[in-house]
Amino acid sequence: MVCLPVFYNRTKSARVAAVLTWLKLVRTPDHTTHDHGTVVTALLTEGVAVAVEGVDFVGLRSDQFSEMVQLFRDVIGVPLARETSGMAGFRLGDGTVLEIYGPADEFHSFFTTGPVVGLRVGDFDAVRVLMLSAGVEFIGAAQHANGMSWQHFRCPDGTVLEIIGPGRGTGGHQY
C-alpha cells in the first residue's frame, strides 16, 4: 500500500502541487516509488500526507537509571549496544534504537514529556522544511551521522518527538 496525499477543500491546482510534492518525498534516489508498507502514519502539512515509515528511536529519561537498564538488559533481554555515564543504548530486534538517560545526562534534559519517539521519514531535509514552514518548533540543531539526520521537535501539546531519516548532513552536529 502506498500513502496517498490527503486533500480537504483544496483547489485543483493545490491538489496537483500537493501530488508533485508528495511524489518528490516518496521517491527513492533511483526514481522508483517507495512502498511504505501496510500501516502508514502521516504528517499533514498543507494538504500533503508525508509518509512516516516507522519508528527508529525511543528515548526514556528516568531517575531510576540503573533499575531501568537492569530491566531491559537483564529481565527483558534486550542487547546493550553502548553505555556511557548516564546513558544506555539498546538495539531492538527490528533495529530500533532504545536509549535510557539518567539524571547525569544533561544533553537530553528536555525529555520531560514521557518517551520520546523518533519517526523514520524517507527524506529528512524535505520533511523538516515542510514542518518548519508549518511553524513546528524544533529543539536544538539537526544532528547527522552516516548519511542519517535527526532532530527533535515539539508537538502542539508539548510532547517531544523526533524525525530521523536520510539527510544531506549540512549544519548542525556531525557524529
Q: Indicate if the pLDDT at residue 39 is higher than 50.
A: no
Regarding pTM above 0.95, the answer is no
What's the grid cell of residue 102?
539518567
- The answer to whether the beta carbons of residues 146 and 169 sit under 8 Å apart is no
Name the phi and psi angles at 172, rounded to 5: 70, -155
- The answer to whether the beta carbons of residues 67 and 59 sit under 8 Å apart is no
Q: What is the mean pLDDT of the chain?
A: 76
pLDDT at 134: 84
What's the grid cell of residue 153?
521537535
Which pLDDT band holds residue 156 (cuts at 50, 70, 90)? confident
Q: Considering the chain, what percentage of its residues have pLDDT values greater than 70?
A: 68
**Domains identified in the chain and CATH numbers:** 52-175 (3.10.180.10)
What's the grid cell of residue 114?
514521557
| Average pLDDT value for residue range 112-119 | 88
**Which is more confident, 89 or 134?**
89
Which pLDDT band holds residue 90 (cuts at 50, 70, 90)? very high
Q: How many angstroms separate the Cα of 41 from the Cα of each of 103, 111, 112, 164?
A: 33, 23, 24, 14
Per residue in 5-30, pLDDT tens? 333 344 555 545 554 554 454 444 44
Give every CB contact of residue 116 below 8 A, 6+ residues apart in sequence.
57, 58, 59, 60, 152, 160, 161, 162
Name the phi and psi angles at 12, rounded to 5: -60, -45
Greatest Cα pair distance in the chain? 57
Q: Considering the chain, what percentage of its residues have pLDDT values greater than 90?
A: 38
Per residue in 41-82, pLDDT tens? 333 444 444 568 889 999 999 988 999 899 889 877 889 999
